[in-house]
Amino acid sequence: MKTQKTTNPVREITFMGIMIALNVIAVRFLSIETPFMRVGFGFIAFFISGMYLGPLRSGIVAALADLVGMALFAKAQYFPGFTLSSFIAGTIAGAMLEGKKSKDLRWVIGYGILSTLIADTILVTIWLVMINHQGDLAFFIPRLLPRLPYQGVITVLKIILIPIFYRTVFVRLRVPGVERPGIREAA
């Protein structure tokens, strides 16, 4: 009889809490803010949780991190679209980086481009247009163009940092589940 390897739920919930705290600290305290844009490193918690937890749990971590950050350190009124963007960014990280996928540069580049393009560029621009211009999509392109150079830098940062974190955090510390095909798969 084949036994299925299970993960420790207490360990997973603890890890999720640590990633939520890491994201809140990185976004709320270690960000560089301009009047139009915030340059932050919250994506680090997303891709670390994506490597370890997989798509759904990583998306939950991202959404909860957004909610906790807004509840504790709000600088504007809450808008659920940003939480949806965070959930999608976390889900993309989990789907593309879980397990051994984070070793393969093709998956890392795909994650960097896809998460930045969908969650950070297109969706955030849509939410900002909806908030500031009453849903008039004529403001979409003028709002999108200034974000593109910044998003290019963030994509390159993701592509550089993921292999570094994979080698230092996961391989050296021997995090269970990362060297195997995936944490959710049967042994």
Partners of 92 in beta bridges: none
Query: What does the pLDDT read at residue 131?
Result: 84
Query: What does the pLDDT read at residue 36?
Result: 67
Of how many residues is the chain composed?
187
What is d(CA 31, CA 75) in angstroms, rounded to the nearest whole number? Answer: 13
Query: What does the pLDDT read at residue 63?
Result: 96
Question: Is the separation of the CB atoms in 38 and 32 below 8 Å?
Answer: yes
Q: What is the mean pLDDT of each run of 10 residues along the chain (187 residues)?
A: 60 91 91 76 88 91 95 89 94 87 82 87 84 72 78 85 78 54 42
Query: What does the pLDDT read at residue 181?
Result: 43
| Structural domains of the chain, with CATH | 9-105+162-173 (1.10.1760.20)
Six token digits for residue 6: 């299970």
The pTM for the full model equals: 0.81
Query: What does the pLDDT read at residue 171?
Result: 62
End-to-end CA gap in the chain: 12
